[in-house]
Amino acid sequence: MTGALFEISFVLAAPFWLLMIFLPGRASTARIAASPLTVLPVLAVYLAMAVPVLPELWTAVSSPDIDTFRDLTALSNGAGAVWAQVIAWDLLLGQWMFLESRRLGISPYLMGPLLVLTILLSPFALLVFLVLRAVRQRGTRSGSGLPDRADGVAAGR
């Protein structure tokens, strides 16, 4: 049962990823990506796996150290719960990146691979996206005739 729940956690998130990567221009994709409710099915899997190991989970989060965390993840439900939590947070992060990219006018052809990277290695993808976002925002400010933060500081404003 634990193995099946482990597999199901990503399967429940996959449709939302597919929409953001392959159908980014659809209004329904933006509407769905704007909802935090997309993670509810994955969180249900998380709860199903976390409840049986709640004492171990509580110990790991209330007094964190590497050995306690290792003990938690050595339990199949513990590892599965951590995995489902990662899937849920990655999905929320991907949704935010998707919506931000639309707001900033970042090309879906650039965002598609970046969202795939978010699925695989979200911390790396987030760093790349934050740099891309900063560059895009700086370009938007420069193109609008508004002084960017550095110019205002240098000019004493």
**What pLDDT digit, counting tens, does each position of 72-114 carry?**
999 999 999 999 999 999 999 999 999 999 999 999 999 999 9
pTM of the model: 0.86
pLDDT in tens, 19-70: 999 999 999 999 999 999 999 999 999 999 999 999 999 999 999 999 999 9
Cα–Cα distance, 83 to 59 (Å, whole number): 18
pLDDT tens digit sequence for 112-156: 999 999 999 999 999 999 999 999 999 777 665 444 444 444 444
To 10 degrees, what angle do helices 76-104 and 2-22 make? 10
pLDDT of residue 140: 72
Phi-psi region of 135 (alpha: psi -120 to 50; beta: other; left: phi over 0): alpha
Q: How many whole angstroms separate alpha carbon 49 and alpha carbon 7?
A: 12
The pLDDT value recorded for residue 143 is 61
Nearest residue to 49 via CA among 13, 73, 15: 73
Residue showing tokens 């550095």: 150
Instruction: State residue 131's pLDDT score.
Output: 97
